[in-house]
Structure formats: C-alpha cells, structure tokens
C-alpha cells in the first residue's frame, strides 16, 4: 500500500476494458494520483501529444495498456494500422518517459508475439525462436519491439521498464462488437443471439481444434500491479493460468452458460490462427502472481454482465 501511495501513475487505456480494472485496483491500494489520458486529448501516436502528456501529468510510473487490438478478422483487415499505431505508441511513451526521468514503465505485450509453432507451454526464452502466426504478426511484432527497446534503454540509459505478455483476456466490460471482439465475447454474443432467434446452428471460424488459454480481467490487473511493485528486469514475463482448452470445448462451455442448445458448425475455410497457446507462468509466480478465477466462474460472470449491459455495450471499431 505504501508503494502505490507515493506514486503518480498514468494508465494509458485506463478507461478501457483492462485499464478500468487496473485503475480501480490502484485506488484500492491507496494510489492518490492516477492519470487516465483519453485519446481525444492525447493521441499517443503523435510524439508532441506524448510530450504534453508527460508535462501535464508528471508521472513517476506509466502503465501502458492502450492498444489497437482485435480478433483474427480485425487483425487481417487492419494489419498496417495495428502495426504502426502499436509500434509508435510504445516507442514514443518509452522515449519520452526516458527524457522525462520516469521511474518505471510497465508495458503490456501480447501472446501474439510468440512464434507460430512455439512448443507448449510457451516459455519466455522461446519468444525470439520464429515468426508469429501470420494473421496476428503485425500486431504481435509491434508489441514485441517493446522488449527490444526495454533492453536497449536499460543497457544504455539505465531506464527501468518491464514488458508483460498476457494470454487472451476476458471478463465483464469486454468488447462485444461482432467484427472486432476476441473469441470469448464473440462466442457469447453469437450464442445469446442465436438462442433468441431460435437458430439451430452457429457458424464459427476455423475447425475448432486450436487451443487457447484465457485470463480473467481481474487476475490480469492484479498481475500487472504485482509486476509494477516487484519486477525489475527487461526479460519478458508471461501472465496466464497455464491451462489450455480447444475452441470447440470453449464453445460448448459458453453454450451451456448461455443456454444455447443448437449445434456449432465450423468453417474450415476461415483461418484457425495459432495452433496452440498455453503459457509457462513460473516466472510470474516469482513475484507472487497466481490466477485465482477459474474459466467456468469467469464465463458465468461475463455472460451475466453481457445480458445485463447489452443496451450500453463498449464496442470498438476502427477507421
């Protein structure tokens, strides 16, 4: 509690899905100075705006969560946008932070940065052993450059930054837009709407065989703050549960939670994405992180939130 009470923390993306939970947890820990820059006021792709952010908010720590992000379809359609915006936001926040005398920058990478054929469970040392899965590569590589910059700036300038690599996040407050959402909110929406229409089937991309690992948003926020308190290295850190399941199994679990009784049809003409995803989370355990929310409980909470808030959903679109 004492650690956060004396910090002035800027949380980029702090009004978003994960960021709003991080901000709440900062308040619970006694942080008295929290800045949440909004994109309409501070375009983090514009270096002049980044400099202005540091002047206006004078942070001691930045937690960089802002990102251009979406599912497979959004990644394919906006590959250039995802690469450029994510690269520039991270690079400029770190460079301006170095110049400002920032004490620490905590940046969020992505599981998409790992090579397509990474052996399971993904160990952090394997992150440079190949090219990412093609549909997510521009986004994943842009985020992976944070690691390069973190190591380089620590070596040359003594700048303290860390980069965390979470698995797919989910939970209340997620983006449920049909074109830009990730797999769990997309499946929840499809199942609920199919149930209401009385549809006999729901079509999903791929063949259902890829495996994924999912981390509840509250657990992710806890991991980020624990790393902010205790982790002091530019080596990457995985955040996850260490448990994988197939998309086919996930679909069945969501059907059960939503009460959808139809069947799933898999469109194998659409991409599967990365074949398998599951993390080795032993490095994060060294600073006390362990996920607490099991998937079944997390899905129940997320479905309940969606049903309650359908009329006022946070939906992300890209220009």
Query: Which positions are catalytic?
Result: 139
- As given in the structure block, the two tokens for residue 72 are 């497979």
Integer angstrom CA distances of residue 98 from 87, 104, 109, 240, 270: 17, 9, 19, 29, 43
Q: Residue 261 carries which DSSP code? A: -
Residue tagged 């993306």 (tokens): 13
Contacts 24+ apart (CB under 8 A), 312-316: 313/176, 313/177, 314/16, 314/17, 314/173, 314/174, 314/175, 314/176, 315/175, 315/176, 315/177, 315/180, 316/70, 316/175, 316/177, 316/180, 316/181
Residue tagged 């440079």 (tokens): 128
Strands of 36-80 (E only): list them: 61-64
In the chain, count H helices and then E strands. 11, 12
Q: Which residues contact 56 (CB under 8 A, 6 or more apart)?
A: none
Cis peptide before 121 (omega within 30 of 0): yes
Rounded Cα–Cα distance for residues 282 and 237 (Å): 9
Q: What is the CA radius of gyration of the chain?
A: 19
Rounded Cα–Cα distance for residues 248 and 192 (Å): 17
- As given in the structure block, the two tokens for residue 209 are 């065989």
Contact 279, 220 (CB under 8 A): no
């Amino acid at each position: 509690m004492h650690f956060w009470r004396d910090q002035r923390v800027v949380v980029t993306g702090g009004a978003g899905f994960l960021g709003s939970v991080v901000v709440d947890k900062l308040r619970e820990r006694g942080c008295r100075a929290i800045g949440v820059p909004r994109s309409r006021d501070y375009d983090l792709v514009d270096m002049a705006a980044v400099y202005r952010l540091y002047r206006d908010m004078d942070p001691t720590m930045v937690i960089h969560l802002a990102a251009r992000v979406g599912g497979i379809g959004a990644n394919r359609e906006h590959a250039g946008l995802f690469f450029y915006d994510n690269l520039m936001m991270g690079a400029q926040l770190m460079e301006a932070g170095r110049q400002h005398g920032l004490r620490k920058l905590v940046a969020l990478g992505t599981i998409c940065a790992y090579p397509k054929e990474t052996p399971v469970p993904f160990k952090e040392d394997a992150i440079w052993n190949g090219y990412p899965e093609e549909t997510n590569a521009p986004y994943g590589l842009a985020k992976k450059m944070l690691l390069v910059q973190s190591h380089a700036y620590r070596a040359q300038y003594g700048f303290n930054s860390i980069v965390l690599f979470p698995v797919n996040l989910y939970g209340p407050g997620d983006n449920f837009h049909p074109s830009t959402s990730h797999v769990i909110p997309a499946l929840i929406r499809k199942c609920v709407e199919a149930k209401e229409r009385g549809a006999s089937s729901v079509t999903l991309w791929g063949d259902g065989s890829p495996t994924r690992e999912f981390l509840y948003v509250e657990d992710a926020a806890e991991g980020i703050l624990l790393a902010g308190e205790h982790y002091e290295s530019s080596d990457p850190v995985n955040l996850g549960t260490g448990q994988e399941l197939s998309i086919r199994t996930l679909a069945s679990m969501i059907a059960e939670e939503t009460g959808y009784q139809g069947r799933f049809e898999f469109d194998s003409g659409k991409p599967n994405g990365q074949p398998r995803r599951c993390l080795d989370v032993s490095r994060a355990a060294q600073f006390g992180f362990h996920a607490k929310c099991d998937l079944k409980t997390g899905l129940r909470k997320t479905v309940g939130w969606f049903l309650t808030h359908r009329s006022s959903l946070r939906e992300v679109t890209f220009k």
